[in-house]
Amino acid sequence: MYVGIVLVGGLNILLGEPLTMVRFLRFSVLLVGLCTAVAGHANTAQPITTADDLGPKVEQPIEFPHDRHAGDMQINCMYCHTYARRSIVSGIPPLQKCIGCHQSIESVRETPRIKKLFEYWEGSKDGTIAPKTPIPWKKVHDLPDFVRFNHERHIQRFYFQQEKPVQEVCGYCHGDVKTMTVARRSKSLSMGWCVSCHEKDHAVDAVSTKTTQGPNDCWQCHK
Amino acid sequence: MSVTNLLENWSQFRHKHPVGDQPHEEYKWAMSIDLDACTGCNACSVACYAENNLPVVGKEKYSHGFAHHWIRVERYWDADGRDFPDQGAQFLPMMCQQCEAAPCETVCPVGATNHTADGLNSQVYNRCIGSRYCEANCPYKVRYFNWYDYPTTDNVWPEPMNQQLNPDVTVRGKGVMEKCTFCVQRLTAAKSNARTEGRTVRDGEVQTACQQACPTNAISFGNLVDPEAMVGKQWMQQQVQLDKDKQAKDAEEAASKLRGYRILEELRAYPSVMYLERVRESAI
Amino acid sequence: MIDNFDRRDFLKVLGWGGAAVALSGCGNTSVEDGREIVTSYSEPAEYVIPSIGVYFNSTCAQCDAGCSIMGRVREGRVLKLEGNPDSSINRGKTCGLGQAGVQAHYNPDRIREPLLRSGDKGEAITWDKALELINSKLAGVKGEEVAFLTGGTSGHINVLLKNYLAALGSSNHYAYDAVSPSVVRAANKKAYGVEMPRLRLDKAKVVLSFGADFLGAWVSPVHFSQQYAQFRKGTRPEGRGVLVQVESKMTLTGANADRWLAIRPGTEGILALGLIHALGAAGMKIPGGIAQDYSLERVSKDTGISAEQITKLAALLKERTPSLVIAGSAAEGYAHGTQNAAAIALLNQVLGNVGKTVQFPAVVPFPQVLPTVGNRYALQALNDEMAQGKVKVLFNYGANPVYSAPAAMKLKENLGKVPFKVAFAHYMDETALQADLVLPLDSALEDWATSVPEYMAEEAQINIQQPLMEKLYPGTRGMGDILLALLKQRRADEYKGYEDFYSYLHSAVLQNKVALGGTGKDDDAFWTATLSKGLLKLPCDAGKISDKITPTAIALPAPFAADDAYPLQLIPAVSASLRDGRHANLPWLQESPDPLTTIVWDSWVEIHPKTAARLGIVEGDIVEVTAKNGSIKAQAYLFPGIHPDAVSVPLGNGHEAMGRYAKGVGVNVFNILDAVFDKGTGELAMHETRVKVSKTGKRVVIVKDEGSAGGQQMGRKIAARVTSDKVDLSGEV
């Protein structure tokens, strides 16, 4: 095995064996000490396959109910995460967007979460929050800094070209968000997990029978 | 895959890309550099520092050969023993040649440098363990190693200089190898935009940082697969073929009167950069 | 990291990843949930998409060439500068200097608040206090006792500056540029009727340059590099152009010449007249009397260039027309610089180039915004005034004479005689350190301005400089805003309508909307379009250049005779990146190797291997270069591209201040220059210093990029070259 990697040097033969690759990846990280701040749980082995690999519960400044918005109200994910179709980042909705709707939704105006929301917009009475302060949301799907996941490509491919339902497309990586309040990671987001999908054949559009695989060169995500 | 198989079919593995058993499909990025236009001004090099988050290492570390200029301008003199270099100097912008059969790739113990489908020689920082075998094996000496953790080194990116860092390019830490990427962050963005519009990248749509800065347009860059691309036309006109280690035109009895060549072609690394010889007037 | 991120509106930003990646350098290595905070805009601008760069047009302020740039702005930070393709000056291209503009902006050593001298220290004060202090110091001071020292200025800053001086009753605007081509300007004016004619390298078959480093540091290098690329194209109707460079120290342009001729320092004019003589001998009609005394033998003996070479060059010039002859800083740097430049201009006239490759330039039809170009004479004039105690209040904007004036001028001492000195500065440079009040300026990427370059290409244009991002420091101000505030102290009624410099510019442009090509356009639309383009192109009538031959009496002295005490000529070389020293604090430029020697982060003494052998000097020897007015010590570099009678030291390093990247790097060669002046213009003659070189006994390893082979290819085909008769360029794409 070792010889094969050394001499061929290509990634292709490795791709068939995600297990090996992940082990190698971790090996390199530990050996080099690439970065000083290796987080505590990064050193502990993580399962690499796993649809049910739930991330930790993250406490947010406001307990945002995805289930109300995406579930009950059936709001398109990209109504709020508006950059997903045209940028590598999906974007956290600007405060203005939340307020835009909620200032005309009287029915929930006095609920604790919405009151909190308006504190960020109007400033809190005790003066601890200045008007128009961005809400300090915590990142839930936080990839390592050397990974550059591109939202636009995935949305374009699966939502626009294959015409899959948006919640299904987003759900490939984010899970069934419409059943959650605060979002929680439900996929491992490890490289092996990414590759396991990239090496499948995917139709190029809604009607064609032609398929292609996802790119498998390292520079697609690491650069 | 056995060792025997590898050794017996070595040339086949080495040739995988150039010999056409796996031709490039959509993209094969390549460059051509006109040495007659290049003035040696170094704008390309500074542009590369700006685009690719290259650390300024300072005099002390520079003296140890730790400089990180992904593109450097080499300067040569004639060795003819005359008093003055009366035909000027020879300048050569040298960067990773993105070899099709790259000598660096075969020696990496962890597969951190390898070939992409676009014909680039990729360097993956998070995979690199810093063995530096690749650097030793590179005939062009264009790989640069992070001997220090520059992000935390004094006066490399002191506040607020760090705000200039390009977020599209990883800031490398200690212990990893790095080199010219043909501005892969720009290529990826251009490819992504093109794919969204259901086409491939048009010639001129994406420029490398060095090319964009070059005051004399000495650098052309593009997709060799695209018949409309300037770079492909240049390679064709100069009769330089990517997958040959000896060009047919050089075998001709009479000199071909063409000036395209690749550096150290005989090493069979199949570089993706063609240079055009500098011309000097014979009448003066 | 993100917690500390500045939360001003402009920066309210960040999607996933984005700036976090860059700012935290190499961050976490595994999937981490709930550790980082994502800050989004509270009210996003419409054009902002996180992670996607937006380009804004502006103008490069790194030198006076006036290249148009586009800044890539992402998440509220300017990341990179590119050239703006719409400008006929630089056509989308930039030089290394321009690229480093972002480092001038993000430089950690910028001054952040107004400082008032208190003993040896600067004490932070408020802007209100600072401006009031200026007002009070001006009370009781006569108009003629106020002086304003600047570098080259143009555009509306220049207008306000002149108006301010007028309001004070002063006309003392001294524009100082240590490395400007001011003698050539004067000679051009005499010969062609314009100071800076348009040079058409793209039309010339032969370019003969007498020490003009037009590819490196002369006038408008990016523009000339563009032209040079055209000039070298084999597919051009005129064919591939031939460049011959005559100079005593090889410049970047010289290194690109088809033939580089090492001329004895100061004899450039003799060669020019010798060529006229040789052209006459070759059958060209020369108006009577010109260059009669300049026989081949004499010229060859005086210049050190072989008779064969002169004949060949004359034949080339005769055969391939039009050609273009350029006089550069090497030719003008002598006491007879005006004569040299006149002789070179005469050669152009004799060759019939005037009107063909030397053309009338495009001129902006608004005289008030035209550039006030800098020269060296201005500093001498100011220095004399200060020495006599005639200057009571001195303003300094963009000049650093304490660094760049020869020690012989005693400028620092004379500055001490000025009771109140105000410096408008970005960094604490040598001159700002002498000031009583230092006012910190916005960087060029934060400030508003217009600029009109001295050298125009085919179109007249007014360049717009606009902020590419929010100010880094609240304590800095734009030069225009400061001038406006000062003017309001004097002429409150006249300027009360302008809230700030932006509104002044806005109304200045809109008042001239029709003349600026905005006929019939809505005001707002025109203004927005102007800012969006970053420049205003103006219709202008092409004037006619004077093409008659003006054989004025040219008096060229005999070449300098050997001087035993000071046997060598000192050539202070203008480096393309450091120029007059103003960019020494930009680390990219310090680490960018000098193209010819490949040396970084230091100064050096270039010396011909023959001369070095005679003196027993080897590479890396620390040598002392002694002139009448002082000496410097630096590492010796054996350089074949220099005349054996000369040594060269680059300008730009040797700062005693100016921040961490500049201070203490190399030596300052300005210091030891002799105070010799060009007889025609009174300009300091930069090349008139004679020196001796001696070993100090110390030796260092030179830090350079060149390998141990010393720039040899060892028989390999690495950087290849071919002669023009062995190559067919016609089919090239």
- Of C307, C212, C218, C220, the C-alpha closest to C254 is C212
Q: Mention every residue, 6+ apart, whose C-beta is less than 8 A from residue A123.
A: A129, A130, A131, A132, A133
User: Mean pLDDT, to the nearest integer, of C14-43?
Assistant: 56
Of C16, C30, C42, the CB nearest to A144: C30
Q: What percent of chain C has pLDDT over 90?
A: 83
Rounded distance between C-alpha atoms, residue C201 and residue C253, angstroms: 13
Q: What is the pLDDT of residue A34?
A: 29
Q: Does C615 touch chain B (CB under 8 A)?
A: no
> Phi/psi of residue C161, each to 5°?
-60, -45
Q: List the end-to-end C-alpha distance of chain C, in Å, as a whole number.
A: 50
**Contact assessment for residue C201 and residue C324, using Cβ atoms and an 8 Å cutoff:** yes
Q: What is the pLDDT of residue A2?
A: 35
Interface confidence, given as ipTM, is 0.93
User: Mean pLDDT, to the nearest integer, of A182-196?
Assistant: 89
Rounded distance between C-alpha atoms, residue C326 and residue C206, angstroms: 11
**A53: pLDDT confidence band, cut at 50, 70 and 90?**
low
Query: Is there a contact between B175 and A33 if contact means CB atoms under 8 Å apart?
Result: yes
Q: What is the pLDDT of residue C662?
A: 96
Whether pLDDT at A36 is above 60 = no
Whether pLDDT at A31 is above 90 = no
Q: Specify the fold of C115-177+374-440.
A: Rossmann fold (3.40.50)
| Burial (CB count within 10 angstroms: exposed 0-12, middle 13-18, buried 19+), residue C411 | buried
Residue C443: DSSP 8-state: P
Q: Could you tell me how many residues make up chain B?
A: 284
- Of C374, C368, C367, C369, the C-alpha closest to C152 is C374
For each of the domains in chain B, give its residue range(s) and CATH number, in order of start: 3-276 (3.30.70.20)
Compute the mean pLDDT over every residue in chain A, rounded to the nearest whole number. Answer: 78
Q: Does C140 touch chain B (CB under 8 A)?
A: no
Q: Does B220 touch chain C (CB under 8 A)?
A: no
Query: Is there a contact between A34 and B125 if contact means CB atoms under 8 Å apart?
Result: yes
Predicted TM-score (pTM) of this structure: 0.91
Rounded distance between C-alpha atoms, residue C127 and residue C600, angstroms: 39
Burial C268-303 (b: 16+ CB within 10 A, else e): bbbbbbbbbbbbbeeeeebeeebbeebebeebbebb
Of A4, A146, A215, the CB nearest to B1: A4
Question: Taking a contact as any Cβ pair under 8 Å apart, which residues of chain C between 45 and 74 contact chain A?
Answer: 49-52
Chains near B (3 or more Cβ pairs under 8 Å): A, C
Whether pLDDT at A45 is above 90 = no
Rounded distance between C-alpha atoms, residue C187 and residue C176, angstroms: 19
User: Mean pLDDT, to the nearest integer, of C120-127?
Assistant: 94
Query: Is there a contact between B181 and A219 if contact means CB atoms under 8 Å apart?
Result: yes
CATH of domain C182-359: 3.40.228.10
Query: Is there a contact between A28 and B195 if contact means CB atoms under 8 Å apart?
Result: no
AA identity, residue C123: E
Which residue positions in chain B have pLDDT lower than 70?
1-23, 253-255
Q: What is the pLDDT of residue A195?
A: 92
Compute the mean pLDDT over every residue in chain C, rounded to the nearest whole number. Answer: 91
Query: Is there a contact between C595 and B57 if contact means CB atoms under 8 Å apart?
Result: no
Instruction: Looking at the complex, report in whole angstroms how far the Cα of residue B114 sits from the nearest Cα belonging to chain A.
Output: 5
Whether pLDDT at A83 is above 90 = yes
Q: Specify the fold of C568-713.
A: Barwin-like endoglucanases (2.40.40)
Residue of A83, A185, A222 for testing the chain C interface, max C β-carbons within 10 Å: A83
**C18: pLDDT confidence band, cut at 50, 70 and 90?**
very low
Q: Does B129 touch chain A (CB under 8 A)?
A: yes
Q: Using the Cα atoms of residue C556, residue C561, residue C566 and residue C570 in order, give the sign of their dihedral.
A: positive
Query: Is there a contact between A28 and B13 if contact means CB atoms under 8 Å apart?
Result: no
Question: Taking a contact as any Cβ pair under 8 Å apart, which residues of chain A between 166 and 185 contact chain C?
Answer: 184-185
Q: Mention every residue, 6+ apart, whose C-beta is less than 8 A from residue B8.
A: none
**A223: pLDDT confidence band, cut at 50, 70 and 90?**
confident
Q: Chain B contacts of A156, Cβ < 8 Å?
A: 195-196
Name the one residue in this structure whose structure tokens are 């709001």: A75
Of C18, C99, C103, the CB nearest to B47: C99
Q: Does A24 touch chain B (CB under 8 A)?
A: yes
Better pLDDT: C458 or C361: C361
Rounded distance between C-alpha atoms, residue C315 and residue C280, angstroms: 11
AA identity, residue B19: V
Of C240, C316, C610, the CB nearest to B284: C316
Query: Is there a contact between C252 and B216 if contact means CB atoms under 8 Å apart?
Result: no
Query: Is there a contact between C28 and A59 if contact means CB atoms under 8 Å apart?
Result: no
Rounded distance between C-alpha atoms, residue C350 and residue B188, angstroms: 56
Q: What is the pLDDT of residue B251?
A: 82
Query: Is there a contact between C96 and B47 if contact means CB atoms under 8 Å apart?
Result: yes
To the nearest 10°, report the CA torsion of B148, B152, B153, B156.
110
Q: What is the pLDDT of residue C565?
A: 92
Q: Specify the fold of C4-109+449-476+494-538.
A: N-terminal domain of TfIIb (2.20.25)
Give the ranges where C587-674 is alpha helix by DSSP (H). Answer: 587-590, 609-615
Q: What is the pLDDT of residue B7?
A: 63
Q: Does A31 touch chain B (CB under 8 A)?
A: yes
Q: Where are the domains of chain A?
A: 5-44
What's the pLDDT tens digit per position in C603-631? 999 999 999 999 999 999 999 999 999 99
Q: Where are the domains of chain C?
A: 4-109+449-476+494-538, 115-177+374-440, 182-359, 568-713
What's the pLDDT tens digit per position in C238-279? 999 999 999 999 999 999 999 999 999 999 999 999 999 999
Name the one residue in this structure whose structure tokens are 């008042």: C511
Better pLDDT: A13 or B111: B111
Q: Chain B contacts of A146, Cβ < 8 Å?
A: 125-126, 170
Rounded distance between C-alpha atoms, residue C413 and residue C148, angstroms: 18
Q: Does B151 touch chain C (CB under 8 A)?
A: yes
**Contact assessment for residue C252 and residue C260, using Cβ atoms and an 8 Å cutoff:** no
Q: What is the pLDDT of residue C6?
A: 38
Q: What is the pLDDT of residue C40?
A: 85
Question: Taking a contact as any Cβ pair under 8 Å apart, which residues of chain B between 160 and 219 contact chain C?
Answer: 160-167, 170-173, 209, 212-218
What's the pLDDT tens digit per position in C298-330? 999 999 999 999 999 999 999 999 999 999 999
| C696 alpha-carbon distance from chain centroid | 34
Of A36, A148, A219, the CB nearest to B120: A219
Q: Does A73 touch chain B (CB under 8 A)?
A: no
Q: Does B267 touch chain C (CB under 8 A)?
A: no
- Among B92-101, C10-19, C442-451, name the one with the lowest average pLDDT: C10-19
What's the pLDDT tens digit per position in A100-146? 999 999 999 999 999 999 999 999 989 899 999 999 999 999 888 88
To the nearest 10°, report the CA torsion of C138, C139, C144, C149.
0
Query: Is there a contact between A219 and B188 if contact means CB atoms under 8 Å apart?
Result: yes
Q: Chain A contacts of C44, Cβ < 8 Å?
A: 94, 96
